[in-house]
Amino acid sequence: MAKHTLDPVGKSVSRVDMYDKVTGAARYADDLQFGPGLYYGRLVRSGYAHALIKRIDASKALQVPGVKAVVTGKDTPIRIGLYLKDRFIFAMDRVRYVGDAVAGVIATSEETAEEAAQLIEVEYEELPAVFDPEEAVQPDAPLIHPDLGDYEVVNFILPEPGTNISEHFKLRKGDPEAAWPKCAAIVEGTFRLPQIQHVPIEPHVAVALWEPSGQVTLWTSSQSPFAQRDLIAQSLGIPHGNLRVVSPYVGGGVGGKAGVSMEACAVVMARAVKGHPVKLRMTREEEFIGTTVRQSLVAHTRIGCDAEGNLLAMETRYYFGGGASNEYGVNIARAAGYSCTGPYYIPNVKGDSYCVYTNLPIGSAMRGFGMPEIHWGIEQIMDQLAEKMGIDPAEFRRRNCVKTGDTILTGMKMPQIDLVACIDKVTKAIDWGKEEKPSAAHKKRGKGIAIMWKAPAMPPNPGSSAIVRFNEDATVNVEIGAQELGQGAFTVAAQVAAQALGVPYEWVRISAPIDTKYSPYEWQTVASRITWSMGNAVKAAAEDARKQILDVVAEHWGEDVENLDIKDGQVISYQSEREQPLEKMVIYGLPSEDFEGWKGGPIIGHGKFMPTYVTNLDPETGQGTRAVVHYTVGAQAVDLEVDTETGEVEMLKIASAYDVGKAINPDLVMTQIEGGAVQGASSAFEALKFDEKGQPLNADLVDYRIMTTVDAPREIHGDIVETPLEDGPWGARGVGEHVMVQTAPAIANAIHDALGIRFNDLPLSAEKIFLALQEQQKD
């Protein structure tokens, strides 16, 4: 057995001190908002990747002046999780990755809590660990969750107890074995992607207050206020009506602030000091290892086509490294399974998608939700098949991409889309087919293309709701539960309400912050579903309010409601040409003749939306009538240069085009395209690194590099395609995540065009490219 005492992030205190400490000004601001009774929390984290917890001794910590309480796993014996309840808020019997939270210290200052955290002694019995998802599925791999068979799980997730497999999605279509002999060309490969971090500028932070009355309030930076309320209430036995989650604007999310991570720790800590709010803030190091990351992936993929270049068969196995908990990640593997062909029509498919426990940080939602990972290999194979057949890569994609009405891999009919138009726009934007000269003799220039699809990955019945109510001056308050992450959700909600009501956009206000006590329900702000789902709910609420107004005026004027309309905040009659301003009447109503009574009253519109048509998929074949609500499709093309002396890549231009159904706000679509191009390009060069014991090697912004303005493409070009979606507001569909799905393979294809070298593993570091060039010169 090993005895190990560690600091809150498994690093030296001096390393923690390098991070921005709580200043007097910050503490003053906290006091203004939460009062002088505010306490601060710090977490004690495991320094082992896999170990049994033999003993926790907090006696020395509790003697530190200012320390109010210490909490451990014994205070949280109920598991928590979105799709699979597989983790405790604080580790109970064992730790499963370096950074697993084993205790929490509550004190009068963050410095005091941090000091006391160093004094907590944790005795461990180290266990064998496994870090690679393929190794983790082997029969002799150490079991990370021996009790997997006892975990509560939703009906569409299929764990395999007795193994490290938390989800196995099977896709079977046609007869691949019979199709392979008919293929004129076959390409297969193994592709690897590492874990990467979301790197929000604002780290995770939460303040929780557990009042003696039993009322609990959680203030947090969250994409999922209602899901957090639901999951934390279930785990801690709090009536849902007693738990209030308040979430202001989020300073960066992209999936990292979806579901529950450290927020539940803050609530447990607040329970230990009832009546005092407790603030828990992640340091940058903790943000890297103690929240969530994008899962790793090992993909074995084989695809073949006939002599005319038509795709015939595909076989693929995806092993997602889900980390220590797969409670959210299981649905990523499922989504990858039912979309495993990428945006292509392939008549014969065998796909197996696994989510696998490993002893690394927790894999969860990140922008793209499994699609960037699987497209990395698919889109490179498509280029190789095109090369073998002597077909232009763009033309090969036009020929084989999914089209409206196709019966796709799950048996579902493809809703209306126009992916060919997206391909045409990006190839035109970068002068596809035109050979360009590099800027210097030691540089080589290349162009690459990749296409994508993505469906909102979610349960079959996620709901949205909205309330529209008027003020006396006819300004409008729109109440929603969707969160503003910087993507423009509030702007879209205001636009939808204004258009449906017939009032100027400037009259509309969005009620914020999101507050589960007062805001109407929204499942989560994830899956690029908000413009579509929330938009439908807001439109319905506005139309409800509009109908109430028109009914009142029709009765007041004695006219047919069909002849009335609302334009620029006034009710107008196409028959009598009368006008009635909304001002005052939307609150006070309208008087009867000679003021003998009144009609109407305060106008409040209610709306909701929930898809009702998504069906189950057969667990053995993945076949079903309607696997998903819809897909968004798009294309990207890249023009770049590679410095052959250093291996550095400079992106000269990225062109992107997406079929958004209807662009509610074209400027916001373009900002998504621009931001996605940068983040997608950055993801091609990022990687979380660990040593052989699972210790993080680059959990800070010094050693983990993300793309900056210096590295960004010189030019980012965007195009919008509009093929209306059958059930979107005015035909709109989401485009938030899609904009970075295919960027990495587009870059890889362009590098191959420049150098003639293929890279199957990310990241595309300058060192890796330089060494490959050296090997190429030897040959």
pLDDT of residue 368: 97
Domain membership flag for residue 180: no
pLDDT of residue 585: 98
Taking CA 251 as the corner, what is the angle to CA 248 and CA 256, rounded to the nearest 5 degrees?
Answer: 100
The residues assigned a catalytic role are 737
Do 774 and 697 share a structural domain?
yes
pLDDT of residue 143: 98
Out of 290, 312, 347, a domain closes at 290
Out of 609, 633, 652, a domain closes at 609
Domain membership flag for residue 157: no
- Domain that residue 444 falls in: 293-403+413-458+616-778
CATH of the domain at 469: 3.30.365.10
Do 483 and 575 share a structural domain?
yes
Whether 316 contacts 299, CB under 8 Å: yes
The candidate with the shortest Cα–Cα distance to 644, out of 750, 764, 749, 754, is 754
Distance CA 16, CA 26 (A): 18
Distance CA 260, CA 221 (A): 11
Tell whether the model's pLDDT for residue 528 goes beyond 60.
Answer: yes
The candidate with the shortest Cα–Cα distance to 231, out of 273, 275, 276, 263, is 263
Mean pLDDT of 333-360: 98
Do 316 and 435 share a structural domain?
yes
Distance CA 156, CA 411 (A): 17
Q: What is the CA radius of gyration of the chain?
A: 28
pLDDT of residue 25: 63
In this predicted model, what pLDDT tens digit does every residue of 3-31 receive, in sequence order? Answer: 333 333 333 333 344 334 445 666 667 77
CATH of the domain at 227: 3.90.1170.50
Do 626 and 605 share a structural domain?
no
Distance CA 80, CA 83 (A): 9
Distance CA 147, CA 138 (A): 18
The candidate with the shortest Cα–Cα distance to 365, out of 324, 316, 330, is 330
Q: Which residue has the tokens 């006034």?
A: 570
Q: Lowest-confidence range among 8-22, 38-52, 339-353, 637-651?
A: 8-22
Do 320 and 245 share a structural domain?
no
Mean pLDDT of 218-238: 98
Domain membership flag for residue 165: no
Work out whether the CA dihedral 545, 546, 551, 554 comes out positive or negative: positive
- The dihedral region occupied by 508, where left means phi > 0, alpha psi between -120 and 50, and beta the remainder, is beta
Its pTM stands at 0.95
Task: Share the mean pLDDT of the chain.
Answer: 95
Local structure of 712: helix, strand or coil: coil
pLDDT-above-70 percentage for the chain: 96
- Kind of pairing between the strands at 121-126 and 185-193: unpaired
Domain membership flag for residue 762: yes
- Give the tokens for residue 221: 């930076």
Mean pLDDT of 639-667: 98
The 3-state DSSP composition of the chain as helix, strand, coil percent (nearest 5) reads 30, 25, 45
Determine which helix (DSSP H) or strand (DSSP E) holds 32, and give its type and residue range.
helix 24-34
In this predicted model, what pLDDT tens digit does every residue of 531-567 receive, in sequence order? Answer: 999 999 999 999 999 999 999 999 999 999 999 999 9
Tell whether the model's pLDDT for residue 753 goes beyond 90.
Answer: yes
The sheet with strand 94-95 has its strands ordered as 2-5, 121-126, 51-57, 94-95
Domain membership flag for residue 155: no
Do 605 and 507 share a structural domain?
yes
Domain membership flag for residue 340: yes
Out of 609, 641, 656, a domain closes at 609
In this predicted model, what pLDDT tens digit does every residue of 714-723 receive, in sequence order? Answer: 999 999 999 9
The candidate with the shortest Cα–Cα distance to 379, out of 760, 779, 773, is 760
Domain membership flag for residue 491: yes
In this predicted model, what pLDDT tens digit does every residue of 405-449 receive, in sequence order? Answer: 999 999 999 999 999 999 999 999 999 999 999 999 999 999 999
Mean pLDDT of 290-294: 97
Distance CA 357, CA 145 (A): 8
Do 644 and 593 share a structural domain?
no
- Give the tokens for residue 425: 């726009």
Taking CA 366 as the corner, what is the angle to CA 77 and CA 667, rounded to the nearest 5 degrees?
Answer: 135
Do 476 and 620 share a structural domain?
no
Do 604 and 660 share a structural domain?
no
Do 438 and 553 share a structural domain?
no
Domain membership flag for residue 136: no
Distance CA 285, CA 17 (A): 11
**Backbone dihedral angles phi then psi of residue 30, each to the nearest 5 degrees:** -60, -45
Work out whether the CA dihedral 125, 128, 132, 134 comes out positive or negative: negative
Q: Which residue has the tokens 């009032």?
A: 503
Do 574 and 503 share a structural domain?
yes
Domain count, the chain: 3
Work out whether the CA dihedral 377, 201, 10, 685 comes out positive or negative: positive
- Give the tokens for residue 37: 């009774």
- Kind of pairing between the strands at 278-281 and 39-45: parallel
CA distances from 661 to 420, 733, 735 (A): 14, 5, 10
CA distances from 307 to 186, 198, 312 (A): 11, 43, 10
Do 656 and 518 share a structural domain?
no
Local structure of 161: helix, strand or coil: coil
